């Protein structure tokens, strides 16, 4: 991820209308997190990342902003509503199941990346395998037999002049 906050904002503007201040805040926060990862190990511990808590009425775009940011940096994303968050034993989901969903999404992303990385080579090898099964090299190099030789086996071929 090598985007400036301005580039992040432009990408978000492509999908999300309005919420200019919110998009600007998350763009700066995302860039700062990326810059923190580039610091030396000792200095990184001193720089505390800022988290974002998005609150607001239904339908203002909180989820879409988060979803687009996750997609931009190729990070897993799950949506969990506070009303679904309960203690174990009550109706709803516990923290473990939410974390499990997040890990499953992360694994899916990694699997898709790995498959994409080998896709061209796998397709090439599959095509070669199919060709070798359908038309083995020995048969392709062999001269085709004249069908009349089966009918008249004793007749010798005339040489062309």
pLDDT tens digits, one per residue of 89-128: 556 667 777 788 888 888 988 899 899 999 999 999 998 8
> Could you tell me what percent of the chain has a pLDDT over 90?
22
Mean pLDDT computed over 128-148: 70
Do 92 and 111 fall within a single domain?
yes
Structural domain range at position 15: 1-75
pLDDT for 88: 57
d(CA 2, CA 8): 10
100 shares a domain with 39? no
Residue 157 covered by a domain: no
Count of other CB atoms within 10 angstroms of residue 72: 17
**Residues 40, 22 share a domain:** yes
Q: Residue for token digits 């998009």? A: 23
82 shares a domain with 70: no
Q: How many CA atoms lie within 13 A of 63 on its CB side?
A: 8
Q: Which residue has the tokens 């005339």?
A: 158
| Whether residue 106 is found in the same domain as residue 123 | yes
Residue 4 burial by Cβ neighbours in a 10 Å radius (0-12, 13-18, 19+): exposed
Same domain, 56 and 9: yes
What's this model's pTM, rounded to 2 decimal places?
A: 0.56
| C-beta atoms surrounding 102 within 10 Å | 15
Q: Count the domains in the chain.
A: 2
Tell me the Cα Rg of the chain.
31
Instruction: Name residues whose C-beta falls within 8 Å of residue 12's C-beta, 6 or more positions apart in sequence.
Output: 23, 26, 27, 65, 68, 69
Rounded to an integer, the average pLDDT of 59-79 is 88
Which residues touch 11 (CB under 8 Å, ≥6 apart)?
Answer: 3, 68, 72
From residue 93, give the alpha-carbon distance in Å to each of 78, 89, 104. 13, 9, 16
* 156 within a domain of the structure (yes/no): no
């Amino acid at each position: 991820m090598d985007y400036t906050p301005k580039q992040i904002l432009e990408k978000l503007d492509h999908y999300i209308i309005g919420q200019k201040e919110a998009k600007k805040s998350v763009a700066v926060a995302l860039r700062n997190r990326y810059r923190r990862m580039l610091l030396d190990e000792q200095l990184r511990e001193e720089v505390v990342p800022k988290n974002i808590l998005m609150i607001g009425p239904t339908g203002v775009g909180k989820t879409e902003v988060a979803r687009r940011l996750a997609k931009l940096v190729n990070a897993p994303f799950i949506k969990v509503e506070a009303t679904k968050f309960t203690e174990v034993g009550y109706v709803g989901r516990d923290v473990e199941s939410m974390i499990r969903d997040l890990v499953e999404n992360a694994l899916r992303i990694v699997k898709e990346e790995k498959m994409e990385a080998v896709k061209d080579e796998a397709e090439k090898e599959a095509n070669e395998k199919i060709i070798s099964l359908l038309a083995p090299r020995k048969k392709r190099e062999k001269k085709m037999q004249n069908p009349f030789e089966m009918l008249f086996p004793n007749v010798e071929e005339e040489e062309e002049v």
